[in-house]
Structure formats: C-alpha cells, structure tokens
Structure 1
Amino acid sequence: MTRTKAMAWAGGASYFLVVGLLVGAAPRASGTAHGVGALLAVTLLADVVRRMPLLALSLALLGSTAVVVGPPSSGQESLATSYQGQFLSYLAVDLVLGLVVATCLRRASIAAVSVSFAVQLLVIGAFSHGDALAVNEVISVLALAASCLAGLLIRERREHAVELRAQEVAEAVIAERLRIARELHDMVAHSIGIVAIQAGVGSRVIQTQPAQAREALHAIEATSREVLSGLRRTLVSLRQADRETTTTEQPSLAPSPGLADVERLAAATAGAGVHVDVHRTGERRPVPADIDLSAYRIVQEALTNVVRHAGTGRCRVAIDYGDEELSVEIVDDGHGAADHGPAHGFGIIGMRERAGLLGGHLSAGPRPEGGFRVATRLPLPAPVPVAVETR
C-alpha cells in the first residue's frame, strides 16, 4: 500500500471516529454543534475525495445521516430545533457532491446526485415536523442545487482550459511546420535553382570549354554541400527531444546564415549568371539572430526569383542599418511581374510571413520603369544603454 493510499484510508477511519464521537459521546451537545462538527469532519476525507470521490461521497452521506438519525440532543433546545441543527451535516455531503460533479463522468455524477437527493429528502422528511418540513426541504434542495451548479462551473472551466491548451499546442505545431516549410523552401529552392543552371552550363560547354565546365561542377559541388548542411541543421532542430544526439551533433554544424553571408550568396548567384551589386549603408552592427536570419532568407528568395524568372544579368541588393529598423531592398531590371513567377508560388508568401512575424512589412511588385522590386522593413530593438563608470 502506498503512502497516499494509507493517508486516504487513515482519513476515512478518522472521519468515522469523529462521527461516532458526535453521535454517541456528546449527547448533551446541541444539534447545531453536531451538524457543524460533521461539516468540519468532512475535511478528513480530503485524500479520499482526491483519489476516490464516489467513495468519499458515500462515506460523507453515511456519516451525515448517522448524525441526523442519532439520538437527539438532551439540552435545553426543542426537538425540532435540535434536528434543524443536525441537518447542517448534509452541507458536507453537498460539498463533496460538488467535487464529484466537477471531476467524475457525467453518468456517475447523475447517479450520485440522484442518490444524495433521495436520501436527504427522505431523512429530512422523516425527522422534520410541521412548518419546518417545507423550510428544511427547500433549504436542502437549494444547497444541493448550488453545489451541483458550482461543480458544473468548475468542470466547464477545466474542460475549457484543456481545450485552450490543446488549441495552443496545435497552433504551435502549425507555426513550427510553417517555419520549417519556409526554411526548406528558401534554402532548397535557391540552391537547386543554382545547381540546375550550373548543370545546364556545364553540359553545353563540356566539350568545347572544359575549364568552364569544371568551374560549373565546382559550383554544383559547393552549392550541394551548403544545402546538405542546411538540411542537416533543420533535421537536427526537429529532433531536439533527443538531447544527447543534439549535443553531440550540434558543434559540427555551421551556424545559421545571416546578413554577413550576403556577399557569399551574391558570389553564388553570379555563378548562375546574375551579377549582384551589394550596397550597405548606415552603421553596420550585429542585429538579433531572428532578424538576421529572416533578412538573409528574404534576400536569398528574392535572388532566386531573379535567377529563375527575371531574365536579366544584373540586380542590386541594398541593406540599410537604420536607428529603429533594418531596410532591405532587392531590385532588378528584368521582365517584371509578367514572368516573375507563378501566382501560386510560395516565395513571396513566405517572405511576407517572415517579415510579419517580426513585426515588419514587406512589399513586392513590378517597378514602373521595368523590373521587379522587393523591399522589407524589419524593426530593430532599442539598444540597451551601457553604464560608464566614472572615477
């Protein structure tokens, strides 16, 4: 027998001991004292209520009925007054009944309410006389109804809390799936696009220009290694539950890319036939990791669209480190919206989601003078002031 079960059984035994003292050992006490004593004695059933609420209700109903049907008080109060005081013991039953309604199955709760209602009405009807009969019955019904209503409210609040928790978990899962989908799309789409273009170039010049074909193969190898590293990093993040595996594998993985890698991204894009001019303005400084990664992914996706759809050999990336926001703009002079990608693609949607999650804004569309423009503004947190020690 576990310690918790032993405490529950000890509480039940103590309850019956107290009820026995109230019934047989205190005959001169008033009926109100008997009723209040039985009401307080139900606290001894706390462990039984928590583990076996139906058993606790049975014990409370049996003990309270024993107090009522036991010998009436031999004090100065009348017989009717004595029984009215003893009826207070049924408030303990109503208290336990409310917990039963709040925690047990609906069918068991209905049975418990029916039995308690029947026993209380029968006992009160048998020991009440005259005008007190109707009053005691009404009070008993009201007390029982109040306890049941309180139990229903507790039950509904608990079920609502469970539903909210399940909804939060579902939303977190969906958000994580969307994040992973964006990562895979931005990472794989860009790299595979470059691989496809380089493979096409290599296949066309392999016979006539072997040196250029060799460069294309080197570019394919480097891009493939980069996308494999990114995929490995994403898969490891999906297995965070395995702490030991994560700890052993994480040091060998490259860190997440950021704005510092834009020049390397531009070099890879140049290998696919699009020269990228990168301009940085403002005070270049580290930015939070989530903003750094999102800005990089937006640039990466925009350059992927230029390589695939713009039909141009040049584009420009402008990065401005403002005091309150980070601005990134990618502009090309290609075909514009007509051939900039299918309407059902996920690239621009993913870029907008990234900016929106950070409280920023992204606009993408054709330019009046031709070409396409992607611009985003990501708010930066206020710098933390550093205290300077003066001497």
Structure 2
Amino acid sequence: MAGGGDGSVVGVQLALVVGLLCLCTALPLVFLRPVTAGIAVSVASVWSLTVFQTVTLAGFGAQLIAQYRLGRNGRQLLAVVLGLPFLLLALAGPVDPDFRVRAVLLAALAPVAALAGLAQRARKQVLENTATREAIVGTLLENTARGERARIARELHDVVAHHISMVAVQAETARLATTGMPAEGAKRLLGIGDTARAALTEMRRLLGVLRDDTTQAATGTADRRPQPSLRQLNELLDEARDASRTAARLIVRGYPRELDPGVELAAYRIVQESLTNARRHASGAAVDVELNYTDSDLRLRIRDNGPGMSTAVPAGGQGLLGMRERAAAVGGEVRTGSAVSGGFVVEARFPATTEESL
C-alpha cells in the first residue's frame, strides 16, 4: 500500500513537471510557431494523461493557450483534430472517473478555446475591413471634391476670366483709338483696364486656390503666392478713389499688429466687398473704413453716407452672405444694415489671434 502511495505521488510530481515544461515550451512557441506548439503540447498532454493518468493545471493552461492560438491563426480544424485523442481516451481509457473527467475536459475545451481564437480573429478582420472601407470612402469623397473644384476652376477660367480679359482689352482699345478724348475720359478708361487686370489677377489666384489640392497631389507643391492682408488696405482704398471718385479714408485705432493670416485675409475681403457695394449702390458716397485693435479682438467698421438700403432687401445678398461666411470661418462675426444717421454700415469682429499664438 505504501509503495502504491509513493508511486502515485511520484506520478503526480512527474505530471506536474511535464505540465510546467509544456507551459514553458508553449508560451514562446505559441506566438512564433502556433502549429508546432499546438502539436507538441497535445502530444505531451496525451502522454501525461496516459502514463500518469493526470494532467496538471499548467498542462491544462498550456493546452488552452495552444488551442486558442490555433484558432486565432485560422487553424481551427487542426485544433479540433488535436482534441480527438482526449475524446478517445475518455471513451476507451481506464474506467477511473477522475481520468475520464480530465480527458473529457481536454476534449471539450480544445474546440472552445479554438472558437474563442477564431472569434477574435474574425473581430480583428471586421475592424480592419471597416477601417479599409472608411479609408476608401474618404478617398473617394476627397477625389470627388477635388474634381468638382477643378470643374469650377475650368468654368471660371473659360467664362469669367475670358470676359474680364475682353473688358481690359476693349478699354485699352477705346482709349487708344478714340481721338480728341478728354484727359478725364482717358483716365477713366485706363482705370477700367487696370481694374479689369486686377480682377483677372484675383481670378487667377482664386483658380490657383481651387486647383491647389490637385497640384499638390500631382507635384507635391502648393501655390505659395502671398494672400492680401490689412497692410494692403491703403492700396485698396486708392483703387476705390481712382475708380469712382470715392472719398474713402482709413482710420486706425489701437495698437496695429500683424494678426493671423486668415483673419487678415477675411478682413481685407470684407473691406473689398464693402467698397464694391458702395460703388454699386451709393456711387460717389464717402466711405470710412475703421480698424480698431484691442487686446482681445479686431473690430472693423465700413460706413458710407449714401442712401442706405433695407436689410430686408436681398440686394447684394450673395456678397453679404460671403462676408458672414468668411468671418465665421476664422471665428468672427459680421453685422450689416442701414446706419441711423444715413448710409449703410458693415461691422465685423475677429479674434485678435496672431500666427504665433495658434
């Protein structure tokens, strides 16, 4: 009896050693060689169960890890096959209940672990496929938007730019071909030609912006020509004076400083649009452009002393809408309407952020 007990203890100890060896062997191999690790661990577990009629927790752990990795690598059929010997041992092995329980557990848990690995593999594939589809959709949308911008650029070039060029050519032709023209008339025609050429330059700049993405994608470069800023306001007002005898003046308050380029461009365009509206709806009216720099924001006010117009009338509506959109794009806001003392007023406020503070 004592000898039998000693033999049982020795068998358990050997089984424990085998289980630990299986676990230590499976852990490094299971990630590098899952098939090799799965076969080796299954053979060791069958041998331990046959010879010692037991499998330790370490052996169970090594078996489950190996089966899981087989399922994770898409070898679920091999995982099921490697579980069949344990089922045969449970059916044809010793009648010892403990032995059969261990064999049945190994036979049942093998496919369960493999299915868990397979489920994880399927989840990973779903996530990867979703990410791939999202990337494809994003690329398609970007290409569609780029194509639409290119189409708009072509239409602007073919239609608008052509007509602006014709205005410049006809103004220059009329100035040179008309004999006895008063100096003032010649100056006006020269101003028309200069304005048309300036508009053509702005149009080409706009076309460059619209085509920027396509150019960058094809050549890896972008249009780096400087955009107008508040430093060019005096030149803009000079053009307005020459074009329509507008008494335009610039008033600057506070501490002028260079702001974020987006803010300066938006403010410049709002002044430009306001001067255009003044020429269109209040020709000859005086225009005051006020810039007020504060610590937190830039306040812009453009007022003419013309007849004004009701805010309910959509005259120039697209231009006013464009002002609001430009301001909103850089965190600002625009208000427009008839001034109490007469005329029309445009007020805008922008955050006084500098390029360095972004």
TM range, smaller chain: 0.5 to 0.7
Q: CA deviation at 1:327?
A: 0.9
Instruction: State how far apart, in whole Å, the 2-side matches of 1:124 and 1:342 are.
Output: 86
Q: Which letter does structure 2 place at the counterpart of 1:379?
A: P
Deviations 1:242-261 (A, max 9, x none): 66876xx96xx5x3211121
Structure 1 position 266 matched with structure 2 position 228 = no
> TM-score scaled to structure 1, two decimals?
0.62
Deviations 1:308-367 (A, max 9, x none): 3x2442232211112211111222334414665355x2x333322322222222223344
- 1:350/1:122 Cα in 2 relative to 1: closer, same or farther (>3 Å)? farther
Q: CA deviation at 1:378?
A: 0.7
Secondary structure class of the residue paired with 1:139: helix
Q: Which of 1 and 2 has greater Rg?
A: 2
Structure 1 position 361 matched with structure 2 position 333 = yes
Residue number in structure 2 paired with 1:143: 113
Instruction: State how far apart, in whole Å, the 1-side matches of 2:144 and 2:340 are.
Output: 41
Secondary structure class of the residue paired with 1:381: coil
- 1:257/1:267 Cα in 2 relative to 1: closer, same or farther (>3 Å)? same
> TM-score scaled to structure 2, two decimals?
0.67
Residue number in structure 2 paired with 1:296: 268
Instruction: State how far apart, in whole Å, the 1-side matches of 2:269 and 2:137 are.
Output: 29
Secondary structure class of the residue paired with 2:227: coil
Structure 1 position 81 matched with structure 2 position 59 = no
- 1:127/1:69 Cα in 2 relative to 1: closer, same or farther (>3 Å)? farther
Instruction: State how far apart, in whole Å, the 2-side matches of 1:211 and 1:311 are.
Output: 25
Residue number in structure 1 paired with 2:5: none
- 1:64/1:78 Cα in 2 relative to 1: closer, same or farther (>3 Å)? same
Structure 1 position 95 matched with structure 2 position 83 = no
8 Å CA contact retained: 1:32, 1:86 = no
Q: Which residues in structure 2 correspond to 1:66-77 (within 5 Å)?
A: 66-69=40-43, 72-73=46-47
Secondary structure class of the residue paired with 1:79: coil
Q: Which letter does structure 2 place at the counterpart of 1:131?
A: V
Residue number in structure 1 paired with 2:299: 327
8 Å CA contact retained: 2:331, 2:351 = yes
Instruction: State how far apart, in whole Å, the 2-side matches of 1:283 and 1:172 are.
Output: 44
Residue number in structure 2 paired with 1:37: 25
8 Å CA contact retained: 2:35, 2:70 = no
Residue of 96, 101, 107 corresponding to 1:131: 101
8 Å CA contact retained: 2:260, 2:355 = no
- 1:272/1:326 Cα in 2 relative to 1: closer, same or farther (>3 Å)? same
Deviates most, 165-174 or 321-330 = 165-174
**Alignment length, in residue pairs?**
320
Secondary structure class of the residue paired with 2:55: helix
- 1:263/1:82 Cα in 2 relative to 1: closer, same or farther (>3 Å)? closer
- 1:359/1:138 Cα in 2 relative to 1: closer, same or farther (>3 Å)? farther
- 1:233/1:370 Cα in 2 relative to 1: closer, same or farther (>3 Å)? same
Secondary structure class of the residue paired with 2:193: helix
8 Å CA contact retained: 1:317, 1:328 = yes
Residue number in structure 2 paired with 1:215: 187
8 Å CA contact retained: 2:67, 2:110 = no
What do you get for the CA RMSD once the two structures are aligned? Answer: 4.9
- 1:70/1:353 Cα in 2 relative to 1: closer, same or farther (>3 Å)? same
Residue number in structure 2 paired with 1:122: 84
Q: CA deviation at 1:122?
A: 3.0
Structure 2 unpaired stretches of 5+: 1-14, 91-98
